[in-house]
Structure formats: C-alpha cells, structure tokens
Chain A
C-alpha cells in the first residue's frame, strides 16, 4: 500500500484516495493533423515501462481532486518525490 504525500493538500494520505493516471510529461502534439500514423500511434499508445525509476501523473481523486507528478521506483515501490504540474523532477529517471 502506497503512502502518498499530496503536494496540494500538504499531507500524507492512503493510496485509496488517489488514482494513477499513467506516465507523466507526455506533450500532446501541437498540430495533430500534421502527425504521421507512426507519430500519432506513439503518442497515444507507446509508454515507458521501466523497471526502476518512473515519472507518473497522479490525481488526488477522493481528496482535493488536483493532479500532481510522482517519481517512483517500480521495483521497490519507493516514492522518491512528488512535485506539482509544471515543475520538473529533481530525481530524474534515465
């Protein structure tokens, strides 16, 4: 069970209150119409799936309902840090 610090509420809460929304820092193509099938497919479906550090987008669904980012180890499940949308991580996955 993950014990997660919400950077908006500034509190530790149980994982049950949160929902993981997948990989963080995915930029939507600025001009989707100009994308090739290859590029659009990669944007929609291809995700980093590391065994190790991973940047994720989470939402405090049963709390403040705000989104934030998390850097987490997918092997040990250790949470390295949480940071707000728009901020950059200080611990960077390779």
Chain B
C-alpha cells in the first residue's frame, strides 16, 4: 500500500497527480474463503480490516451488491458520540469512540474526524431530568458528558435561539465534548484500502441471492454474478436488507426496515461549529466543512425499502430546525435522500450468532450505525474469528428478545427513533 503523506502529495504534484496507485484491487473471487462478509459498507469493511489485522485471517471476501460504501455509509448525517444510557451500550459506543480517536493515523487515511462536540437540547423539565440522568450515568461509566444552562448555551452557540420567546424555550442542554462528526465516505474508503492492503478481496457488483445451508450449518453463499462461493464462516452486515438475508437463511429477525431521511442545504458561510440535536422539537443539524447544513429527520413509521420517504417528515424536521435557528429560515435546501435503517424494538443493535451454525449477523443499528462503524467492525471481527461474541458484544445477542434482557436506548438513540 502506498503510504499517504505530505511529502507524497508534493512528489506526485511533480507528475501532475497522474501516477497515484489504485486505492484497492478489483479481484475476481476465489471459490473458497475462510470468511465471507456480506455487505461492503462501513461496518462490513471495518469487520474485514480488523479480521485481517487483529486476528490474522486474511483469506476473506467482502461481497457488495453495489459499490463500496454506497448504501447507508453515504446516506447518514455522520454524527459520532458515545453518550448512551445503559452500561452495555456505553461500553459498545465508547469502544467505538476510542477507535475513532486514532482511526485516521491507523488507516493512514484522513477520515476528517472532528471532535466538535454534540449538544442535546432540553425544552421541558422532563427533558432536563432525563438528560441530567444521562449525564450522571455517563460520568459513572467514565464517559464525558455535562450539562450547560441556557445562558451558557447561548454563549457557546450564538446562532441558536435560546431566548424565552421561542415556541419551545430551551432550558439547557447536555454536551459531550469528545463527540463530533467524520467524513462518511472517507471512513468506508479508508477501511477498504487498509483491508485490501492486508489481502482482503473486495468484490463489488456481487449480489448474494441465496445461502448454501446443510444440516443447519452454512457452507457458502450463492451469488448472482459468480455462482457459489464457499466459506467456513459467513457474516451478514447489510443494514436495511438484513431481513431479506435472514429470510434466505430461513429465520426471522426482530428488525423492521424503515426509510430515514436527511437533507443538506446550499453551502453557506461558517455558522455552526458543533452538532445540535433536539429530541423534543425533533431535528438535528451540523455544518459540513463544505459549508452546507446537514439536517437529519426521523424515520417514516412504516416498513419501506424504497430509499425515499414522505414529505411530511421533512417538513416537520425543517420546522424544528427553524424553531431552534430562526436565522436559517431562508436557507435553501439542495438535496434530500433516504436510507433504509433496520431498527430493533429496543433501539440497540444485534451482534450475534444465529440459529444457523457459522452464520453471524451484525444488524439492527437502526438510526445510529455510523458512530458505531469501527467498534462494530472490531467486535464483529472478534465474533467471526472466535465463533463466539466478544464480551462487549455479548449482551447484544439476538437471544435477548427471548430472555427479555433488552437494552432500551430509545431515549439516548434520540431524534430519529
């Protein structure tokens, strides 16, 4: 792998940047792999990378039906934070957060991780109480989180309306200062490049149409383009399409797929240097380095695979944003899109064994998958290498929907749920 550096940039400028090495190979798949990962998004690519790097398993293929990082990896609002309520989730998201903090160096790829902070605004007494509880829980877990009052908040975010005149006046906010955002594409590309360098085969335009299962054990997958590919273990990391793959394997998941919409405005001058989320008025926003406002909406309440949602949801979200930032009322919106999120009944993911031996699922991240990308990959790689879950991933077994040991994160999962 060609190492990226300032010197390299200078050297290549002398040849008009025409001799850069390809970022990854484009191999034809082998007939047999140790591990096949279905889904070439952020989570799948991270899984492949950590399998090769931490577990020495390099005979790995990532099968992607479209192009790498072309699903939810490029459809999210890029927020990274770890201020969840329960110990299980805090451990999971904090594990991810710590990987984020060293990720650009580790991958030798600028993922533009920016710890610009993330505010959860409170508009009611109940909001204040639940956020204070969240802050207290996070402190006990060793995760940074603090409360600020409306006056302080107004100083920190001058463009936000923290006055008493608002329709839903802001009483305060919790803020995780280590939170922030990252460049969504760069994360997928960085993991892809690093995994490829370690020998992982990244197979694009390769759709899985069936699973080869005998005696309750998976032996491979059937693809549309390359026929049957054998594997000792198979990991599915396909977000919204998890239910479709589970059906191929003959079981059901406690997951429903919903469209989740987001939109960006035209680029404007620097105006918001942090991330703001409001559970109460129901919207969240940050500003990208390019200058556009990145705004996230809630899910459409019905099952949908069409990668588009209803207009009413967007209208509702924009109302919330204008409510908090009246100065944005004349900003024009550039683009709007939907991604398919797989939501679990308890708003926590599934990283688990399945009823089929050697088949593992990593799904149900719902509306919060982006922040989990490195952690999810790291833990799922452990699961695939050992055949049993990492201690942090253990509570996220699919079994919890039968035992009742749910990890209810509807509060901390926030706006989108």
A residues with a Cβ closer than 8 A to B are: 1-2, 14-16, 19-20, 22, 37-38, 41-42, 44-51, 54, 56, 72, 74-77
Contacts and interface: CB of A to CB of B under 8 A. Distances in A.
Given A38-B402, A49-B243, A49-B253, 19 more contacts: A14-B312, A16-B312, A22-B256, A37-B402, A37-B403, A37-B404, A41-B404, A44-B345, A46-B252, A46-B253, A46-B254, A46-B401, A47-B252, A49-B252, A49-B256, A49-B342, A51-B241, A72-B302, A77-B304
A54 B345 contact: no
A74 B305 contact: yes
Contacts of B311: 1
A2 B310 CA distance: 7
Nearest to B244: A51
Contacts of A72: 302
A75 B305 contact: yes
A50 B240 CA distance: 11
Interface residues of B, number: 25
Contacts of A22: 256
Contacts of B312: 1, 14-16
* A contacts with B: majority SS: mixed
5 contacts: A37-B402, A37-B403, A41-B401, A46-B254, A49-B253
B383 interface: no
A50 B243 contact: yes
Nearest to B257: A49
Interface in B15-44: none
B301 interface: yes
A45 B403 CA distance: 12
B6 interface: no
A51 B342 CA distance: 12
Contacts of B304: 74, 77
B252 A15 contact: no
B102 interface: no
A37 B405 CA distance: 12
Contacts of A19: 301
